[in-house]
Structure 1
Amino acid sequence: MSVRLKLTLSYAGFLMVAGALLLAAVWVFLLRYVPERATLIDQDDDLTQGVFPVRSGLLEVFAPRAAGVLAFLLVFGLVGGWILAGRMLAPLHRITDATRMAANGSLSHRVRLPGRKDEFRELSDAFDTMLARHEAHIAEQRRFAANASHELRTPLAISKALLDVARTDPGRDAGELVDRLHAVNSRAIDLTEALLLLSRADQRAFTREPVDLSLLAEEATETLLPLAEKRGVTVETRGDIASVSGSHALLLQLTMNLVHNAIVHNLPEQGTVWVNTGVRPGAVVLTVENTGEELTPQLVSTLTEPFQRGTERVHTDHAGVGLGLAIVRTITRAHDGTLTLTPRPTGGIRIAVELPGTSPRTDGYG
């Protein structure tokens, strides 16, 4: 039995019950004010001509008409209920059609239910929003898979070319070949580990614990200080205790990526990196700024995409694999935070990670 038929029978049944109650009330009213018998008196002679039953005659007249009314209400309830049920369920049919199309792979279709803002309209809008997000996520995953395949194919192709050269030229310096193969293999390993980290953060497969971002900032600065000194970059770290609940390893990776990018993508010499932690009502903020080339807002908005770089590809030992800020964005989302990238007017970029804060006393700090 379809929902439309169930609603139709419900409407008709309710109408029949209401009609029967109304007729019963009318009959009770008639029984109360109509006598059982009536005496007919001749007014001219003032003589009684007889006693006649009233209620029995009234029942003979009322019963068939009441049955006719109930029959009309039944037909009217069935026809009207079928029409009303169809109109009420029409939005659900549109949503069902959109669901079937989405199940068949067509995520671009939208319900776009017209009319006033009611429960069906809210359901339709929520479904359209879900489809839009799912479509964007699928498109992002496809772009990511294509880019990852390209990035992984590059070191493998280089390794194959080096091995082919070594096989055709046995007299070539083996030490140079081993060094180049080691560098290419290391880059492939770094890329694979970055992809695994990105997948782990995206699935939120981690245990939450109290973490102080100010300590992570100091640890990242100390770890990357040799790289900064080698490139002539000054790193300044300051801020307050910033307590959050999350994965220590992932948040340390987030901080390391931000500081590493700020050092590598900086001025050729005499560059500066500022690492700050702060506390806001209900949130903590980790901010990393650096000097460098002037960047446009359009370019900055694409830097969190996988394998996107702010400048041309740099062939150095610390060039990275193009997933640094993509990993930062994923870890930030996994911790229910927000990531903001803003170009600095004088060059460089300002990156702010805002995460839900916790009380230092309850987290064990201070």
Structure 2
Amino acid sequence: MKWFSKSAWLLAGSLLCTPAFSADGQGANEFSASFKGTDIGEFINIVGRNLEKTIIVDPSVRGKIDVRSYDVLNEKQYYQFFLNVLEVYGFAVVEMENGVLKVIKAKDAKTSAVPVVGDASVQGDSVITRVVAVRNVSVRELSPLLRQLNDNAGAGNVVHYDPANIILITGRAAVVNRLAEIIERVDKAGDKSVEVVELKNASAAEMVRIVEALNKTTDAKNTPAFLQPKLVADERTNSILISGDPQVRKRLRNVVQQLDKEMATTGNSQVVYLKNANAEDLVDVLKGVSDNLAKAKNAGKGAATASNNEVVISAHKGTNALVLTAPPDIMKALKEVIAQLDIRRAQVLIEALIVEMAEGDGINLAFSGVT
């Protein structure tokens, strides 16, 4: 009698899950699923027969299920129903490349041959792996947050690869797609822009050197290179281009503005001592160079330079030195020109030998060497 009771339940479950063809005769299968105390192996066999799929069951998959569906399901819904039931009981389905399905424990699915997909085309409770590229946020910081949202005790797993800044997510398709959407939104929030800071007193190149030295901290070493703020000097306009996170750009902009102060002395003056060239001879040459630089600088602004940006060049004969007063960018250009002009002149070495001969009783020779 016990054997009959068990067989009756299995038969009832099988009959309730047998496909019923639609009334229009098009052959669309519909299913009404109901199982009570059914062995999970028999449940899998019934589903495999109805869906005409080959299913391999791991020996560790054991137990009984109780489930009831009051709705008529089409083939796609019926397959998702099958996946949902297995998920509730701690199992997962891995679809192989040849279409064969494997039913294993959920915790073993993450190390199985899970299909790798590139988008959200796969839905439901199928176990998949997605590779998500991140451009503006560090994956090292993002991965721990995603693990808290994933089923790590079951089929879920989240790992990151720092050099390429990518995240690999394994789990049920619905969860994986949700995590990928979260990554996309966070990545957009970390998008970087470029800000231009124009300097009035300091040299752009020198300012970049100072700020970069200030920015070389332990935290910067642990941050991927592409996420670190970048500073570039535009010497033509004496400006600094800053790229990075908005908060980082704001902090660097404040530092630059604090350093870009007018010098206490009137103008930016420097004395350059010459070793080979004549200071007075270079004054006219340097004035011509500074005029051209000033014109090029003002061409983009459409206005004349302010009085504190005027260039003054004079020579001190006693020390053979040049006294320069100029804005930082023009000052740098003038010093480069001076360095190229203040070189040792080419010299020709001439050697001569003078022999003096005098007549007398003896022979007297005198030699004098001249170089």
Could you tell me the TM-score, scaled by structure 2's length?
Answer: 0.22
Q: Which has the higher strand share?
A: 2
Q: Which has the higher helix share?
A: 1
Highest RCO, 1 vs 2 (Cα 8 Å, sep ≥ 6): 1
Specify the structure having the higher radius of gyration (Cα).
Answer: 2
